[in-house]
A and B are shown apart, each in its own frame.
Chain A
Amino acid sequence: AQTVTQSQPEMSVQEAETVTLSCTYDTSESNYYLFWYKQPPSRQMILVIRQEAYKQQNATENRFSVNFQKAAKSFSLKISDSQLGDTAMYFCASSVKAGSYQLTFGKGTKLSVIP
């Protein structure tokens, strides 16, 4: 079984600043994926970034990057140059590479970007 823990229920950041959201996970699998999803007030779930566990290099998507520490089972999300549109719930999730392919989610972090 997999578990995902997000220890920060709420965070805030000034516009144009950088913020880091924390996530730790636990899995007995050797092949797995990690994800960050964003849920704005519209309620739509949007994939932000993904990381394959076997890849050492941290994933990057424009202003979003991750710090993947496999030994520590840590997967944090860094948002640079925060924008008002980044205001949302952010969910960390994990998935094993084979089987049901289901995602296991953390409880989420509510991020507010302050003008």
Chain B
Amino acid sequence: DAGITQSPRHKVTETGTPVTLRCHQTENHRYMYWYRQDPGHGLRLIHYSYGVKDTDKGEVSDGYSVSRSKTEDFLLTLESATSSQTSVYFCAIRDAGSGANVLTFGAGSRLTVL
């Protein structure tokens, strides 16, 4: 168990409201990722982090921001949620000990934007 906790697990919000999803890990992994999963698209990378305060954009970063002020926490923020951001969001960590670029995923957070 990689000790990844996502919160909240489910959220319903209205268009235009800010939303923050939290990913917490307990094993001091350097690399953390946020993906979104949509039917017909698989999982697509939003942002990732390679250390405290070190982040970079992924394939679908528009409308999202991230922050990592502590090794254990990686936050994903939707500044003004839109219906197109209704999705399931997965956090992942890279297990450097695996030697094979294995990513381990959290349980996912389902976000519905009305």
Contacts and interface: CB of A to CB of B under 8 A. Distances in A.
Contacts of B19: none
A102 B101 CA distance: 8
Interface in A61-106: 91, 95-97, 100-106
Given A100-B48, A101-B31, A102-B48, A45 B40 contact: no
Contacts of A102: 33, 45, 48, 58
A106 B42 contact: yes
The interface size bin for chain A is 20 to 34
Interface residues of B, number: 24
A44 interface: yes
A48 B19 CA distance: 33
Nearest to B9: A43
Contacts of B103: 95, 101, 103
Contacts of A47: 102, 104
List the 3 closest A-B pairs by CB distance, nearest first.
Answer: A45-B105, A105-B42, A95-B101
Interface of B: 31, 33, 40-45, 48, 50, 56, 58, 88, 90, 92, 94, 100-105, 107-108
Given A47-B104, A95-B101, A107-B40, 8 more contacts: A6-B42, A35-B102, A44-B107, A45-B90, A45-B92, A91-B42, A91-B43, A101-B94
